[in-house]
């Protein structure tokens, strides 16, 4: 099991580090949320370019991992409809968890990169930035909708 985990981590690192370098997304319009964050942090024009580049790169990395996780889920659940196929479900779950761990590590590093582009007078705003971003990630402020009527 330890060997499989190591192999999965090495494969993941290969994919993450050997992605073709995308062209800068300077002309890609930022989302309203990104724009609000840039305004709230009072970024200058150079910081804005860096901020949006970092956001786009992070989004690309997370999307790549999400695609890998989706493929794993399909493999995992496909084993139910094809029981003759020998599937090491524990290995698939381990790989899925490792990808989730990698997303968290990448996201934390991304937040540190954002903080590193700020000037000292902008640093107090970073706490507000983090609260807004973590609220969005965890959907903490989202109101729970009641289930549909037919579901009750």
* Whether pLDDT at 7 is above 80: no
Number of H helices, E strands in the chain: 5, 0
Q: At what angle do helices 2-17 and 45-81 cross, to 10 degrees?
A: 140
Q: Which tens digit of pLDDT belongs to each residue from 136-149?
A: 888 875 555 556 66
The pLDDT of residue 36 is 94
State if pTM tops 0.75. no
15 confidence band (pLDDT: 50, 70, 90) = low
- Cα distance between the two ends of the chain: 43
């Amino acid at each position: 099991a330890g060997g499989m985990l190591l192999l999965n981590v090495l494969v993941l690192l290969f994919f993450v580090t050997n992605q073709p370098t995308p062209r800068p997304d300077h002309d890609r319009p930022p989302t309203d949320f990104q724009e609000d964050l840039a305004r709230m942090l009072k970024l200058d024009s150079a910081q804005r370019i860096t901020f949006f580049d970092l956001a786009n790169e992070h989004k690309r990395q997370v999307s790549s991992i999400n695609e890998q996780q989706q493929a794993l889920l399909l493999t995992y659940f496909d084993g139910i409809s094809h029981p003759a196929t020998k599937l090491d479900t524990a290995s698939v779950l381990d790989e899925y968890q490792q990808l989730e761990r990698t997303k968290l590590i990448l996201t934390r590093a991304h937040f540190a990169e954002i903080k590193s582009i700020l000037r000292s007078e902008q640093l107090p705003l970073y706490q507000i930035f983090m609260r807004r971003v973590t609220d969005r990630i965890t959907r903490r402020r989202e109101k729970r909708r009641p289930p549909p009527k037919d579901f009750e």
